[in-house]
C-alpha cells in the first residue's frame, strides 16, 4: 500500500465556498463548508484527498474523513446502485468488490483505500449489457423490491470466486478438501445479504445456473 506524502495527510484544508455551489467534477459541493463563524470543533473538520479506481475509472476525491466508502459512492460519485440498508454491517445491501473481494462498504472509510480497485453493481453490467449474474437474477426472478439486489449480485459473483479459490465455509464438511458447489454452500455463503422480500430460493437458483455454465 503506497503511503501518501505526510504533508498531505496532515493538511487541514478548509474549503470556503458558498453553500449553493454546484457539484464540480467528483468533489461534491455538499462537502464544502463555510469558514465563517466556525466553532473550535470545526477546526477538525478537515477534508482529505484520496484516489482510487471505481469500475475501471480513476477517481480523485476530497472528502470529510468520516465519509464511508458507501457514502462516497452514493453521494460523492452518484453511484447509487450500491444501497444503504442499515449502515451498520447488518444487511449486506452495500456489498461491493474491493480489490476483487466483497466487503460491506458501509463499514469502511473512503480515505482508507488509496489506490484500491473498486467494483460496484454498475461496473458489472448495464441494462443493455447485463452481466451473466444479473441476467440470471432476471431469469430466475431472484429479487422483488430490488433494494438488496445489487448487494446480492456483487456477493454472488464473489461467492463463486471464493469457492473456486478453495476458501471454506461454515458448512464445508471437510476443511482440508476443496469446497463443493452445493445449495447448502451457496446459502451459507450468501447469508450476509438479507432479502426481506424473501427471494432466497430464486437467488440460489440464479447463482447455481451461472456456476453451472461457468464449469
Partner 1 sequence: MKFDTPATTNPIDQLKVVGQPVDRIDGRFKTTGTAPYAYERHDAAPDAAYGHVLGAAIAKGRIQSMDLAAAKAAPGVLAIVTAENAGKLGKGEYNTARLLGGPEIQHYHQAIALVVAETFEQARHAAGLIKVEYAPAKGAYDLAASRDKAKPAGTDDEPADSSVGDFDGAFGAAPVKLDATYTTPDQAHAMMEPHASTAAWNGDKLSLWTSNQMIAWSVGDMAKTLGIAKDRIHLMSPYVGGGFGGKLWVRADALLAALGARAARRPVKVALQRPLMFNNTTHRPATIQRLRIGATRDGTITAIGHDSWSGDLPDGKPETAVLQTRLLYAGANRLTRLRLSELDLPEGNSMRAPGEAPGMMALEIAMDEMAEKLGLDPVEFRIRNDTQVDPESPKRKFSQRQLTECLRTGAEKFGWAARRKPMQARDGRWLVGLGMAAAYRGAPVMKSAARVRLDARGIVTVETDMTDIGTGSYTIIAQTAAEMMGLPLQKVVVRLGDSTFPVSAGSGGQFGANSSTAGVYAACVKLREAVVKKLGLNAADAQFVDGEVRSGSRAIALGDAAKGGELVVEDAIEFGDLAKKYQQSTFGAHFVEVGVDAATAEVRLRRMLVVCAAGRILNPKSARSQVIGSMTMGAGAALMEELAIDARHGFFVNHDLAHYEVPVHADIPHQEVIFLDETDPMSSPMKAKGVGELGICGVAAAIANAIHNATGIRVRDYPITLDKLLKDMPLPA
Partner 2 sequence: MKPFTYERAGSPAEAAAAAARRPEAKFIAGGTNLLDLMKLQIETPAHLIDVNGLKLDTIEPTQEGGLRIGALVRNTDLAADERVRRDYGVLSRALLAGASGQLRNRATTAGNLLQRTRCPYFYDTNMACNKRRPGSGCSAIGGINRQHAVVGASEACIATHPSDMAVAMRVLDASIETVKPQGATRTISIAELHRLPGDTPNVETVLEAGELITAVTLPRPVGGSQQYRKVRDRASYAFALVSVAAIVQPDGSGRVALGGVAHKPWRLDAADAEMPRGAKAVAGKLFADAKPTEHNAFKLPLAERALASVLADARG
Among 17, 29, 46, 200, binds partner 2 (CB under 8 A): 46
CA-atom Rg of the chain in angstroms: 20
C-alpha cell at 95: 456489498
C-alpha cell at 174: 471437510
Cβ closer to partner 2: 11 or 57? 11
Please report, as residue ranges, which positions from 186 to 215 form the binding site for partner 1 (by CB under 8 A).
186-188, 190-204
Q: How far is the CB of 58 from partner 1 (least distance, A)?
A: 20
Cβ closer to partner 1: 5 or 56? 56
Among 27, 50, 54, 71, binds partner 1 (CB under 8 A): 71
Q: How far is the CB of 122 from partner 1 (least distance, A)?
A: 5
- CA dist list (Å): 147 to 38, 95, 142, 197: 39, 12, 12, 10
Please report, as residue ranges, which positions from 77 to 116 form the binding site for partner 1 (by CB under 8 A).
78-88, 90-91, 93
Three-point CA angle 177, 184, 213, nearest 5°: 80
Cβ closer to partner 2: 139 or 178? 178
Please report, as residue ranges, which positions from 168 to 187 form the binding site for partner 2 (by CB under 8 A).
168-170, 172, 175-176, 187
The listed partner (partner 1, partner 2, none) that binds 73, CB under 5 to 8 Å by sort, is none
Cβ closer to partner 1: 10 or 129? 129
- State how beta strands 117-119 and 48-54 pair: parallel
| Diameter of the chain measured on Cα atoms | 64
Please report, as residue ranges, which positions from 71 to 100 form the binding site for partner 2 (by CB under 8 A).
87-89, 92, 95, 98
Cβ closer to partner 1: 115 or 201? 201
Establish if 48 lies at the interface with partner 2 (CB under 8 A): yes
Binding site for partner 2 (CB under 8 A): 1, 3-4, 9-10, 12, 41, 44-46, 48, 64-66, 68, 87-89, 92, 95, 98, 101-104, 106-109, 111-112, 155, 158-159, 162, 165-170, 172, 175-176, 187-189, 191-194
Amino acid at each position: 500500500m503506497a503511503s501518501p506524502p505526510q504533508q498531505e495527510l496532515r493538511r487541514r484544508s478548509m474549503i470556503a465556498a458558498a453553500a449553493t455551489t454546484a457539484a464540480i467534477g467528483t468533489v461534491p459541493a455538499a462537502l464544502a463548508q463555510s469558514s465563517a463563524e466556525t466553532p473550535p470543533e470545526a477546526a477538525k473538520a478537515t477534508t482529505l484527498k484520496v484516489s482510487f479506481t471505481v469500475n475501471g475509472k480513476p477517481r480523485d476525491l476530497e472528502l470529510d474523513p468520516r465519509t464511508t466508502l458507501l457514502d462516497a459512492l452514493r453521494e460523492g460519485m452518484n453511484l447509487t446502485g450500491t444501497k444503504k440498508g442499515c449502515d451498520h454491517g447488518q444487511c449486506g445491501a452495500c456489498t461491493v468488490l474491493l480489490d476483487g473481494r466483497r466487503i460491506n462498504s458501509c463499514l469502511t472509510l473512503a480515505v482508507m483505500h488509496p489506490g484500491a480497485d473498486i467494483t460496484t453493481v454498475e461496473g458489472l453490467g448495464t441494462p443493455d449489457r447485463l452481466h451473466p449474474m444479473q441476467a440470471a437474477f432476471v431469469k430466475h426472478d431472484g429479487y422483488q423490491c430490488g433494494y438488496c439486489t445489487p448487494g446480492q449480485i456483487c456477493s454472488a459473483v464473489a461467492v463463486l470466486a471464493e469457492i473456486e479459490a478453495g476458501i471454506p465455509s461454515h458448512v464445508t464438511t471437510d476443511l482440508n478438501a476443496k469446497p463443493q458447489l452445493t445449495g447448502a454452500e451457496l446459502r451459507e455463503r450468501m447469508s450476509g445479504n438479507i432479502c426481506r422480500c424473501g427471494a432466497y430460493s430464486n437467488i440460489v437458483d440464479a447463482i447455481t445456473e451461472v456456476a453451472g455454465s461457468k464449469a
